[in-house]
Amino acid sequence: MTLAIAAIDPAALRKRCEVTTLRTMRGDSPYEEGAVVPAGPWTAISDETARDLTAAAAQARDSTLVELVQVPQPTGPLAALAEPLGDPAALHLGQARAPADALTTTGNHEYGRRIGLHVDNWDRLSYAAKHTGRRRLCLNLGPGTRYLLLADLDIRAMCRAVHQDFERRYPHTDDLRQYVTGGHLVLCFRLRLEPGEGYIAPTELTPHDGSTEGQSEPSTAAFWLGHWPRGTLPSPV
């Protein structure tokens, strides 16, 4: 497992984190052919898993760390919220609305189908540099609860497994799909985010998506990209 989640109290993390495996979508569906989604059902993580995730965080580079955060109420334009967080070059990506009860939230705007878990490619990084990319800050604007979905392996580990020439590759969502289709077991963690909460996560490195599965209300999220040191914002865990 390469996933690392920062938490002061592993028991608090356990209360808002669940796990399942991943599966591949085939046939006529709202998803792209081969898209990877949670298989279900969700189960609570164990005390041991919570300790493993937080222990890994202590050793992780800041650029590879997942943090749950409490985001302060904006006092000015929402786009400027990230300005005092330590990266003056942080990029505001805008907002995205997710409907209620969506297994995953990200769609392919060109074709109209959902893409499932994926890795971002804003920084267009090679295998050797993929772990140095900017992290994404997400703020749940509500009104509903939403989830962050995370694979337990990063895309570099998957790229190594499916390509002999991995060092010359640019790790991509297709590597995740090929890895899961090949029968490899991948765990998927689901972290609950209440309105006003968010995350800072290495979405260029870790396969991820949003979700509102089981929620009766939609959720809108705002997003930024930046190089932020750990502990920039307080954590709810």
Cβ atoms of 171 and 119 closer than 8 Å? yes
**Tell me, what's the pLDDT at 109?**
75
- Ordered by start, the domain boundaries in the chain are 5-73+90-226
DSSP states of 11-54: HHHHHTEEEEEEEE--SSSSEEEEEEEE-S--EEPPHHHHHHHH
Could you read off the pLDDT of 59-79 as tens digits, one per residue?
999 999 999 999 888 777 888
pLDDT computed for residue 77 by the predictor: 86
pLDDT of residue 226: 97
Beta bridge partners of 22: 38
Cα 146 to Cα 105: distance, rounded to the nearest angstrom: 10
Residues of the chain with pLDDT under 70: none
Tell me what pLDDT residue 112 has.
77
DSSP per-residue string spanning 88-127: TT-EEEEEEEE-TT-S---B-TTT--EEESB---SS---G
Regarding pTM above 0.85, the answer is: yes
Question: pLDDT tens for residues 76-126?
Answer: 788 888 888 999 999 999 999 999 999 999 988 777 799 999 999 999 999
